[in-house]
Structure 1
C-alpha cells in the first residue's frame, strides 16, 4: 500500500482540532444549562449593547443551526442561532456579546478586521485554486505550478493568522462589556469566559491546520523536486 509520510505533519493539528471541537461542544452544553440571574436573552443582550454603542441600525436576525452565530459587515446584520437568540443561558449571552464585539470592531474600523474582510474574496478563490494548481504541477512535474499553488495557499494561512486577533479581541470586548454593564454577575462571567475561551481554541486549531497543510505542500513539492 502507498504510504505518504507527509500526512504525519497534519497529526498534531488533527488532534488539536478534535479536542477543540469536543471542548466547545461540552463547554457550551454545560453553560447553556446555567441561566443568568437577570433573565436577559441573547438577542436582548445583543440589542442592548448595540444600542448603547450607537449601532441602532444593525439588525438582529435568527438563523438556523447550532453555533452558526456571526456578524455580517456587508449587510450590517447580527445573526444569532436559535439556541443563542432566545436563550437566557450564560453561554448564549457570552456568544451574543462576542458577535456584538465584531460589530463594534467594524464601527471602530479595527484594523485586523478590516484587513480580514478585504482579503476574503482573494482567499475564497485561492483556497479552491491552490490545490488544483499544486497537484497539476505535481502530476506534470512542473515546479513553477506547485510553487504557485503554495503561494495561493499561503493566503489561507494569512487569513487564519489575522482571524486570531480579531476573535480574541471580540471576546475581550464582550467580557468587559458584560462586566461593566453588570449584565452578568461575577460567577456568571466565569462561565461566559470559559465558553469564549473554548471557542477561541477552534480558531487556534484552524490556524494550526492551515499552517500544517502549507508545510505538507512544501514537503511534497521538495520531495518531488528531489
Structure 2
C-alpha cells in the first residue's frame, strides 16, 4: 500500500468513525431527556403526518437502533425500537425527520426523485466500480485501461448518489424542525436537542459522500497517471 492510499484510508476512517461517534453521542444524550409533551416517536410521526394530509401513510416498528426510514414504494414510515415508543427528544427529532421524507415524496421534491433514480446504479457502482477499477489499474494492457474506465464510470454513479443524498437529508431535517416548532411538540429548549441530533446525523452522510469522492478522485488520478506513461 503506497503512502497516498494509506493516507486516504486513514482520512476516510477518521471521517467515518468521527461521524458515527458524534451521532451516537448526541443520540444517547438526548434519548435520556424526556420531552415535556410526553409524545412518543410514533405519536409524533402520526400527528405530523395527519396534520399534513398523509393519513394514508402507515407507521410500523422496525428492529434496531437508528434504522428509521420512509419507504415511498410501500408508503410506510418505519421507526426503530429506539424511536417508536420512546418519548425522548431524540426519538421525536428522528420521527419528525422521517416525516420530512414523507412530505418530500408527497411534494415531488426533485432531489429526492433524482436520488431514487440513482439507487440501482449506486448499488451496482459501489460494489462493481472499485473492483473493476482496481483490476484494470493492475493490468498492463489496453484492456486494463478500458476496464479501469468502466469501473470509474460505475463508481461515479455511486458518488453522485451520495452527493444527491446530502440536500435530501438536509431538507428533511429542515422540514422536521419546522414541523416540530409549529406543532409545539417540543419546547424551545428541547428544540435545541432535536437540532443537535439531526445535525449530527447529517454529518454521517457528509462523511460518506466525502469518503466516496476522495476514492473516486484517487482512481481518476491513477488512471490519468497511467495514460501519461
TM-score of the superposed pair, with normalisation by structure 2: 0.94
Partner of 1:12: 11
CA-atom RMSD in angstroms: 1.3
Structure 1's unaligned 5+ residue stretches are none
C-alpha contact 2:122 2:159 (8 A) present in aligned 1:
no
Alignment pair present for 1:191 and 2:193: yes
Counterpart position of 2:161: 159
Q: Equivalent residue for 1:111?
A: 110
C-alpha separation in 1, matches of 2:35 and 2:154: 46
SS for the counterpart of 1:19 is helix
Asked whether the equivalents of residues 20 and 205 of structure 1 are also in contact (C-alpha less than 8 Å), the reply is yes
- Paired residue secondary structure (2:118): helix
> Which residue is equivalent to 2:86?
87
Answer whether contact 2:121 2:154 (CA < 8 A) is retained: no
Deviation >4 Å, runs of 4+: none
Preserved contact between residue 6 and residue 219 of structure 1 (Cα < 8 Å): no
Distance 2:13 2:67 in 1: 22
> Larger RCO: Structure 1 or Structure 2 (Cα < 8 Å, ≥ 6 residues apart)?
1
Q: 161-170 vs 140-149, which deviates more?
A: 140-149
Q: Secondary structure at the match of 1:67?
A: coil
1:17 Cα deviation from its structure 2 partner? 1.6
Q: TM-score, structure 1 length as denominator?
A: 0.95
Distance between the aligned counterparts of 2:169 and 2:193, measured in 1?
18
Residue 205 of structure 1 is matched in structure 2 by 207
Shift of 1:16: 2.0
* Partner SS, residue 50 of structure 1: helix
User: What SS is found at the alignment partner of 1:79?
Assistant: strand
Name the structure 2 match of 1:146. 148
Cα distance in 2 between the residues matched to 1:174 and 1:148? 40
For each residue in 1:39-66, what CA deviation from the matched residue of structure 2 results, as whole angstroms up to 9, or x when unmatched? 0000000000111111111111100111
Q: Give 1:181's aligned residue.
A: 183
Match of residue 62 from structure 1: 61
SS in 2 for 1:126: helix
Matched residue SS, 2:184:
coil
Q: Does 1:126 align with 2:128?
A: no
The residue matched to 1:71 in structure 2 has which SS? strand
